[in-house]
Amino acid sequence: MPTDEAAELVKLVREIATEQLAPRASEAEAAAQFPRDVFHLLGQTGLMSLPFDEADGGGGQPYEVYLQVLEEIATAWVSVAVDMSVHTLSSSAMARFGTPDQRETWLPGMLGGSQLGAYALSEPQAGSDVSAIATRAVRDADGYVVNGTKAWISHGPHADFFLLFARTSDDAKRGLSAFHVIAGTPGVSFGAPEKKMGMTASTTTQVIFEDVRLPVELRLGDEGQGMAIALSALDSGRLGIAACATGLGQAALDLAAAYATQRRQFGRPIADFQGLQFVLADMAAAVESARATYLSAARLRDAGRPFSRQASIAKLVATDAAMKVTTDAVQVLGGYGYTRDFPAERYMREAKVMQIFEGTNQIQRMVIARSLLREAQ
């Protein structure tokens, strides 16, 4: 930790995670209950604003610290950590591109945790290919009229605001614009919650915009600046997911190691068998490597240096590690690992989506290779 305050901060987060998150996670995931109250608590304790500037009411913490906080939360309950990362992503556009008036009006609620943000970029036909976005914001005398459907929106029905990206022209580079949409705006509705494999406590839905009227004052940045705004936070969001995946891997490792020391077969703990020790050692190596990789990328970001390739590497390494480690945790727990009486199988289901969202790991490889080969030319 770079400072004493950061060490104290992580101590506080561990306390909250242990007392308020971990005991509720399994039950809420099984019941698909979104823990809205948790985000109020995280907001009150200042954890929803850590990487934002102090002048804006944020914690002024480097990404290196923010990501370790995210990892701690993910170890206790990964859905909460992912939703926190999504909120950070959704709020960062206002902090970076908002006008002084917009920032004064909206930032305090966003950073104080009373306003939970959702990120409305993807569409049914526009996932990795952002240029295929079809949601349109048509300018008229009173502002904009928005029509379209956004897909895969984390905590969509529970959000207080949406960072919406909509097409304002067909220009290939400057066709998108960003908007701040307040929940409850007439014409905004939600699809049925997706029946997901995991992370069921974090409700994912479509968000449908039907003749939604938005005043010009709710546009973020210039018209046509949407793609730049979306791309500006992309790398940071990937680091967030890398930290979440590392925390999830750590949770699986902790569970497997504890189980191995308690489970006895042939008259001794299964942890005594070298075959199992090697599995646990590989799991630990994967988690540590994931942590080191995202921290290395975060330190580049904190130093103001380019970190796009490293963010993609971190996302790739950490989420693949989470998939491997959680699968191994199920193996260590044997038959019990395959039951819902232990969280190992849940961790495994949760890990899978980490390889998919915030840019699939195939997209990450494309980003890495392009960056690498550009340099080699």
Binding of other proteins by 5 (CB under 8 A): yes
Distance CA 88, CA 208 (A): 22
Binding of other proteins by 332 (CB under 8 A): no
SS (H, E, C) 183-252: CCCCCEEECCCCCCCCCCCCCEEEEEEEEEEECHHHEECCCCCHHHHHHHHHHHHHHHHHHHHHHHHHHH
Binding of other proteins by 210 (CB under 8 A): no
Instruction: Give the per-residue contact string, 49-88, with other proteins (x = CB under 8 A; - = no).
Output: -x--------x-----------------------------
* Shortest distance in whole angstroms from residue 72 CB to other proteins: 13
Binding of other proteins by 4 (CB under 8 A): yes
Which of 8, 171, 211, 217 touches other proteins (CB under 8 A)? 8
Coil, strand or helix at 118: strand
Binding of other proteins by 131 (CB under 8 A): no
Stretch that binds other proteins, among 40-48, 72-80, 208-216, 320-328 (CB under 8 A): 40-48
| Active-site option among 71, 210, 358, 375 | 358
Q: Which is nearer to other proteins, 16 or 329 (CB)?
A: 16
Q: Residue for token digits 């920032």?
A: 103
* Shortest distance in whole angstroms from residue 232 CB to other proteins: 25
Q: Which is nearer to other proteins, 51 or 240 (CB)?
A: 51
> How many of the chain's residues bind other proteins (CB under 8 A)?
14
Q: Which is nearer to other proteins, 47 or 276 (CB)?
A: 47
Binding of other proteins by 47 (CB under 8 A): yes
Distance CA 194, CA 206 (A): 8
Distance CA 212, CA 217 (A): 14
Distance CA 224, CA 319 (A): 33
Binding of other proteins by 12 (CB under 8 A): yes
> Could you confirm whether 358 is annotated as catalytic?
yes
DSSP string, 245-284: HHHHHHHHHHHHHHHHHH-EETTEEGGGSHHHHHHHHHHH
Q: Which is nearer to other proteins, 32 or 41 (CB)?
A: 41
**3-24 burial, b for 16+ CB within 10 Å, e for fewer?**
eeebeebbeebeebbeebbbeb
* Shortest distance in whole angstroms from residue 41 CB to other proteins: 7
The angle that helices 63-76 and 226-262 make with each other, rounded to 10 degrees, is: 50
Helical spans, DSSP H, in the chain? 4-16, 22-31, 36-44, 63-76, 78-97, 100-112, 226-262, 274-302, 308-337, 344-354, 361-376
Q: Which pair of structure tokens corresponds to residue 175?
A: 């066709």
Stretch that binds other proteins, among 46-54, 118-126, 159-167, 171-179 (CB under 8 A): 46-54
* Shortest distance in whole angstroms from residue 134 CB to other proteins: 41
Binding of other proteins by 45 (CB under 8 A): yes
Which of 2, 27, 44, 277 touches other proteins (CB under 8 A)? 44
Instruction: Give the per-residue contact string, 189-208, with other proteins (x = CB under 8 A; - = no).
Output: --------------------
Residue 21 DSSP class: I
Which of 14, 22, 32, 41 touches other proteins (CB under 8 A)? 41
Q: Which pair of structure tokens corresponds to residue 176?
A: 């998108």
The distance of Cα 330 from the centroid of its chain, to the nearest Å, equals 24
Residues with catalytic function: 358
* Contacting residues toward other proteins, per CB under 8 A: 4-5, 8-9, 12, 15-16, 41, 44-47, 50, 59
